[in-house]
């Protein structure tokens, strides 16, 4: 399911919901487990790079949660499989692109770490999300910056998607933020700024961070010596 703002990137798809929702009558029994169980990141739609949508599908036993990181919205589905067919039904859609009860039947295949979804309207390609990225995903509340906690009612967070890291600073009704794309390699995280409303970082600026996770605490050491410790919500 793609952001409507990104429709131009996935033309000529004749839908805004990338899961191709339409009518279907299939109703097989929900599987105990399937090869798609786990998290998958959208990488292309009809051959066009869709990575920056930061869309993550999380398949559990018979449910799918789709988080569209770029638009900060979530859609929920139930699903069943029948051979190479994936049958999905919309439960809820915060992204306002589909309606509860909508159904679709999609052809799917999995080769290694790649899943492909296809029907007459197009093809989506997704990659399995690594364990390292899964451990980062979610929102982390900043507890200390160089040993000092936020003051004056200021709150800071980092929210990780599959490829995007969003840093937000709020104080009451006021706030600003910086968006980054990130990749991980062992204990190193490479980041590049893609947007900034705080006026502190140039778009395109990069950094190499060393990071570690212990329990529900994330420690990030930036190249300028800044150390930030955050707690997962």
Task: Tell me whether the omega of the peptide bond preceding residue 33 falls within 30 degrees of 0, making it cis.
Answer: no
Instruction: Note the pLDDT of residue 33.
Output: 57
Cβ atoms of residues 182 and 52 within 8 Å:
no
Instruction: Note the pLDDT of residue 15.
Output: 34
Instruction: Note the pLDDT of residue 34.
Output: 66
Cβ atoms of residues 125 and 18 within 8 Å:
no
54: left (phi over 0), alpha (psi -120 to 50) or beta: left
Cβ atoms of residues 65 and 36 within 8 Å:
no
Domain with residues 132-232, CATH architecture: Beta Barrel (2.40)
Cβ atoms of residues 90 and 99 within 8 Å:
yes
Low-confidence ranges of the chain (pLDDT < 50): 1-32
C-alpha to C-alpha distance for 125 and 47, rounded to whole angstroms: 8
CATH 2.40.128.280 is right for the domain spanning 4-129: yes
Annotated domain spans of the chain: 4-129, 132-232
Q: Which tens digits make up the pLDDT trace of 87-139?
A: 989 999 888 778 899 888 899 999 999 999 998 778 999 999 999 999 999 99
């Amino acid at each position: 399911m793609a952001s409507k703002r990104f429709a131009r990137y996935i033309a000529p798809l004749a839908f805004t919901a990338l899961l191709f929702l339409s009518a279907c009558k299939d109703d097989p029994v929900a599987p105990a487990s399937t090869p798609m169980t786990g998290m998958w990141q959208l990488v292309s739609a009809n051959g066009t790079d869709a990575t920056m949508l930061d869309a993550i599908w999380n398949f559990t036993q018979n449910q799918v949660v789709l988080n569209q990181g770029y638009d900060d919205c979530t859609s929920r589905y139930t699903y069943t499989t029948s051979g190479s067919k994936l049958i999905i039904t919309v439960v809820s859609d915060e992204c306002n692109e589909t309606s509860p009860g909508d159904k679709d039947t999609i052809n799917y295949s999995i080769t290694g770490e790649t899943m492909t979804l296809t029907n007459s309207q197009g093809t989506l390609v997704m990659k399995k999300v690594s364990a390292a990225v899964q451990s980062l995903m979610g929102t982390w509340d900043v507890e200390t910056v160089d040993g000092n906690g936020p003051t004056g009612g200021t709150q800071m967070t980092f929210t990780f998607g599959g490829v995007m890291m969003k840093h937000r600073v709020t104080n009451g009704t006021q706030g600003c933020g910086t968006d980054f794309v990130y990749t991980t390699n062992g204990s190193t995280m490479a980041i590049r700024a893609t947007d900034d409303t705080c006026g502190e970082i140039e778009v395109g600026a990069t950094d190499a961070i060393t990071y570690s996770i212990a329990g529900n605490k994330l420690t990030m050491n930036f190249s300028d010596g800044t150390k930030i410790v955050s707690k997962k919500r």
